Structure 1
Amino acid sequence: MEHLDMKKKITIMVAVVSVLLFSALNMTIVGTALPKIVSSIGGLDYFDWVFTIYMLTSSITAILVGKLSDIYGRKIFLQVGIIIFSTGSLLSGFSEDIIQLIIYRGIQGFGGGMLMSISFATVGDLFSPRERGRWQGILGGTFGLASLLGPTLGGYIVDNFDWSWVFWVFLPFGVIAFILISRLYPVIKSTKKESVDYLGSLVLTITLVSLLLGFTWADSKYEWVSPQIIGLFGTSILGLVAFIIIESKVKSPVVPLFLFKNSVFTISNIVSFLIGIGMFSVIMYVPFFVQGVAGSSATTSGLVEMAMTIAMVVSSGTAGFLITKTGKYKIMAIVGLVIMAIGVYMNSQLTADSTLFNVIINLMVIGFGLGVTFPVFNLTVQNAVKHKYLGVATATSQLFRELGGTIGVAIMGSIMGRILTEQIQQAELPQPAKGTGGEIPPNIEQLQDPQLLMNPEALAEIKNKIPEQMHAFFEQFIQLMREALSVALSGVFLFSSVIIVVAVITTFFLKEIPLRTSNVDPEEEKEQETGTSS
């Protein structure tokens, strides 16, 4: 599609941006609304599956569709993705219990994986690597905008309307996106017939599901050394070995293993994995500080995190423009990661006495650094492979980022839990005042769950159940827990900052290949020149 005139390219990108905004808004709006949804339909013990199932289905679909779109073209998968995603959204709003919601969110994930993977690959189809920077930045900014609007809108909807509208409000955008794609997106597919690697796809699915479930359940549902977790990791390892064997023998592998012989491709994916850890440490654990330590509301937490999103949107667009203008991306990646590492380290220095202003400054630094790096590593992967592998290469990069986020959250959750337990054990617990019976109320033990500190209503309910003369003791205990949680979160952010430093070091080994000014592969260019001269 590189041969299309600029006006046509821009109209196609308008359609693609509408698709990405549609899917990203639906993803980001659910988090804020989920507590109200669970209180309405029940199923608190399974609420985390609302996120887990989406992550599983979208990750699997993204990597598989990346390869299939290289064979059959992008348009059909964008159209099918919109239909599946919209169907999942519609059904989710009709959920009568948590199991139905989980199933319908899984359907959403199948569609969402298609849309995310194909949207970024389309940029590679339309523009040469030298031109892609600004458009990758625009897509990054679009995702950031959705992260900005989604949580705020989700909170407003559940406060003023039926929660089902969280899933229905953007369905008209899906219709518009489908019409735009159908009319504007040209039908282009590979002229070379390739078989589909069904066995490899199945084994890869089993490998990813086992790996993601293992890290999701470890130290939350089961112990790290429990038979269940060991079994899942063992299955994942065996699956990976089988997958490598299968991919080395089939003619059209779902993930061509020779791509990993390309140092640029491999290093870029490693850095994407590490960035995923750092990014999710902020997304998942900053709310623990704002709500659990600072004692602010969920709405305030969303507003605070806007600082990172706004900085990310601005810096992502700016970085993409500069990459296109200068053709330089390695130095920008290093600078962005260094800034991000500094911001995450600043988070590790927060204490129970820190103000929300301190948090906002830190998040702005993180957002600026993250935004600068966001367009880079999709670009480096796409620039390093032949155009016929563009879809699978882009999907692989996104998969590594998601794997980093999932694995990182599991590890950091264990770090937070262990430090929090140590802090409570080492702390001098307050004693009830004289005249109160001298006994610690049994329901006080519930407060050792950090999730409870983020729920003011639950705290108020516990406080109302204890005698009034115990309220001073209650407040002292809460303060002790907030201080312990602050120390635990410092450990999480310190770990994350070290991971980003490792990403900085790894990026120094990235070979900076000049950005091509055409999507035609160098070998093909030589063949064309030879044919012309002869």
Structure 2
Amino acid sequence: MTQLTDKKKITIMIAIITSMFFSSINQTIIGVAMPRIIAKLGGMDYYSWAITIYLLTSTVASVLVGKLSDIYGRKPFILTGIGLFSLGALLSGFSTDIFQLITYRAIQGAGAGIIMSTAFTAMGDLYEPRERAKWTGVMSAVFGVSSVAGPLLGGYIVDHLDWHWVFWIFLPIGFLAFALILLNFPQVEKRKGESVDYFGSLFLTTTIVPMLLAFSWAGDGAGKYAWSSWQIIGLLSVSVVSLLIFVLVEMKVKTPVLPLGLFKNSIFTVSNLVGFFLNAGMMGAIIYVPFFVQGVKGISPTMAGYVAMPMSIAMLATSALSGQLITKTGKYKKMAIGGLLLMTFGMVMMYFMVPSTPIYVLVAYMIILGLGMGIAMPVFSLTVQNAVAPQQLGVATATSQLFRNLGGTIGIAVMGSVMSSAMAKKMTDLSGTLGQGAASAPADPALAEKLALFSNPQNLLDQPKIEAALQSLPPQAQGLFAQMLDQIREAMSYAITTTFLTGAIVAAFAVVFALFLKEIPLRSGKDKGQRMEMTEEHAERIKAQKAQG
């Protein structure tokens, strides 16, 4: 597709970006609305499943479609992804109970995984890496826009409209994206001599699904099962056995779903390791920023969206600018390391926050974090695509997406355990003071009930409830319970900032791996004589084959 005219390429890119925006805005708009949706449908015990099932189907679909799109072309798969996502969104809006919502979210997740995998790969089909860098920045900026607009719009909808519209409001964009892809995206013929790796696909799925379930459910705090429980050990065991079988299958089949030879390419391997640790540190830490804003600082959910907005805007700006700079210079390694260092520094600074930290200081730290993420994140999809042969573009991009998804899932699970442990430790340290407060409280059952309310850190996230309970207390008890509330906030602050430090340590691993990233020239449209700039490893293999021949 690199032979298409520039006008045709831009038209196709508009279609791809439209489909990506449709997928990403639907993900971000739902996050803030899910608590209200669950309140309407019931089934709080199954709340995590509505999120977990989406992650599972998205991850599996994205990696499986990679090789298939290499064989059959991108067009049928991106159309299938948009169709599945639209169907899942439509049906989710008609849900009457939590189990229907979980089922329809699974369909939506599969569509999202296919869209994200094929969209980045299709961009690789259209442009050589040198020109691709600016479009990578633009596509990353799409996520920045959706992360700003989604939560604000989602909060407005559940406050002023029926919750069903959270799923339906952007369906027209889905129809538009489908039409644009259908009319403009070229269809390619099936690649001859290649077949579908059914057994590899099966065992790759049985490797990923139990692993993600184990990390999603594990944890002694908010987790469903303890790390040492037979359920978690069993899931991880199934995942390990499936991985071993998967490796054996991939070594034997003619057309593997995930060619293991790709990992002999150091750029491919290092880039995926960086992506894993980058997402583990970033997602695992950022997910707890709203806890600090709402629970520790006592800011309403609507205002919390505005607090997070500067970080998203910073990420949007630097992702677009870094793409332009890479296109102009062809250099990316120093930029990637600088972005990772900036991101790590932002999280380290967030570790030093306390309940009295002004909100503008938190915003400043989050801007630093956003600047770093915007610089670093687009680079490693680009390096993966630049390091492999064009016929492996789909599977390479899908594998990159897989490592990022795994990093995010595992990071969230690990940070959850860190937060629970830190909270328990701090609460134990404060138990003496809290016990003295309880002992000095009047012997009144109603007051004892309110004391229990204040001593549960989770209730800090419901500020109206806390304020109403505080105002209902007699004057002589208000001062005591306000003091206890400050101590609970201190415990939550300690726990959350500990997760920020852990996220910074994990992100530091990404910095270390990035130091080993080889920087090879980015291919450009000026390279008329060859389709791909060979990596050192590839060149050495060619020389060895010639010597043997």
Normalised-by-shorter TM-score class = over 0.9
SS in structure 2 at match of 1:431? helix
Structure 2 counterpart of 1:360, one-letter code: V
1:520 aligns with 2:527: no
CA-to-aligned-CA distance 1:276-334 (integer Å, 9 cap, x gap): 01221343110011001101111111111111110000000000000010000001000
- Measure, in 1, the Cα distance between the counterparts of 2:479 and 2:193: 74
8 A Cα contact 1:62 1:114, kept in partner: yes
Given that 2:282 and 2:507 are in contact with CA atoms closer than 8 Å, whether structure 1 keeps it comes out as: no
Deviation at 1:356, TM superposition (A): 1.1
Conserved? CA contact 1:269–1:400, under 8 Å:
yes
Question: Which residue matches 2:276?
Answer: 273
Give the counterpart letter for 1:521 in structure 2.
M
Match of 1:531 in 2: none
CA-to-partner distance for each residue in 1:180-218, whole Å, 9 max, x for gaps?
001111112443231111111111111111000100110
- Aligned residues: percent identity? 49
Is the Cα contact below 8 Å between 1:137 and 1:374 reproduced in 2? no
Distance 1:448 1:201 in 2: 49
Match of 1:418 among 413, 416, 421: 421
CA contact (8 A) 1:123 1:132 kept: yes
User: Is 1:302–2:299 an aligned residue pair?
Assistant: no
Q: What does residue 497 of structure 2 align with? A: 490
Q: 2: distance between equivalents of 1:435 and 1:95?
A: 47
Instruction: Give the Å deviation of 1:465.
Output: 7.5
Structure 2 Cα separation of the partners of residues 244 and 221 of structure 1: 31
8 A contact 2:118–2:394 mirrored in 1: yes
**Corresponding pairs, count:** 527
Tell me how far 1:448 sits from its aligned partner.
Answer: 4.8
SS at match of 1:240: helix
Match of 1:505 among 512, 523, 547: 512
After TM superposition, the structure 1 = structure 2 runs for residues 316-465 of structure 1, keeping only pairs within 5 Å, are 316-427=319-430, 428-429=433-434, 431-432=437-438, 436-437=442-443, 441-442=448-449, 444-460=451-467, 463=470
Counterparts of 1:86-485 in structure 2 under 5 Å? 86-219=86-219, 220-427=223-430, 428-429=433-434, 431-432=437-438, 436-437=442-443, 441-442=448-449, 444-460=451-467, 463=470, 469-485=476-492
Q: 1:51 to 1:447 in 2, by over 3 A?
A: farther
Give the Cα–Cα distance (whole angstroms) in 1 for the partners of residues 197 and 474 of structure 2. Answer: 66
Are the equivalent residues in 2 in contact too, given 1:436–1:469 (CA < 8 A)?
no
- Tell whether the 8 Å contact from 1:267 to 1:507 is kept in structure 2 after alignment: yes
Q: Distance in 2 between matches of 1:227 and 1:509?
A: 39
- Where does structure 1 lack aligned partners over 5 or more consecutive residues? 528-534
Find the residue that maps to 1:47 and give its secondary structure.
helix
- CA change 1:435–1:504 in 2 (3 A) is closer
Tell me the CA shift for residue 433 of structure 1.
8.1
Residue by residue, what CA displacement relative to the aligned partner does 1:201-255 show, whole Å, maximum 9, x if unpaired? 1111111110001001101101110111111111111111111111111111111
- Per-residue deviation, residues 346-394 of structure 1 (Å, max 9, x unmatched): 1111111111101110111010000001210000000111011101111
Name the CA distance, whole Å, in 1 between partners of 2:237 and 2:506. 25
Asked whether the equivalents of residues 285 and 415 of structure 2 are also in contact (C-alpha less than 8 Å), the reply is: no
Q: Which runs of 5+ in 2 are unaligned?
A: 543-549
Report if the CA contact (8 A) 2:441-2:477 is conserved.
no
Structure 1 residue 477, shift from structure 2 partner: 2.0
TM-score relative to the length of structure 1: 0.95
Q: Which moved more, 1:24-33 or 1:277-286?
A: 277-286
CA 1:461–1:133: 2 relative to 1, 3 Å = same
Q: Are the structure 2 counterparts of residues 324 and 190 from structure 1 closer, same or farther at C-alpha, using a change threshold of 3 Å? A: farther
Amino acid at match of 1:155: G
What is the rounded CA distance, in whole Å, between the counterparts of 2:239 and 2:153 in structure 1?
38
| Deviation readout 1:89-147 (Å, 9 max, x if unpaired) | 00000111111111100100011101011111111000001111100000000111111
Letter in 2 for 1:228: Q
**Does the C-alpha gap of structure 1 residues 18 and 134 become closer, same or farther in structure 2, counting only changes over 3 Å?**
same
The Cα offsets for residues 476-533 of structure 1, whole Å up to 9 and x where unpaired, read as: 222111101111112111111111112111111001111112582357xx99xxxxxx
Structure-2 residue corresponding to 1:530: none
Partners of 1:302 and 1:133 lie apart in 2 by 30
SS at match of 2:422: helix
- RMSD of the alignment, in Å? 2.0
Instruction: Note if contact 1:433-1:473 (Cα within 8 Å) is conserved in structure 2.
Output: no
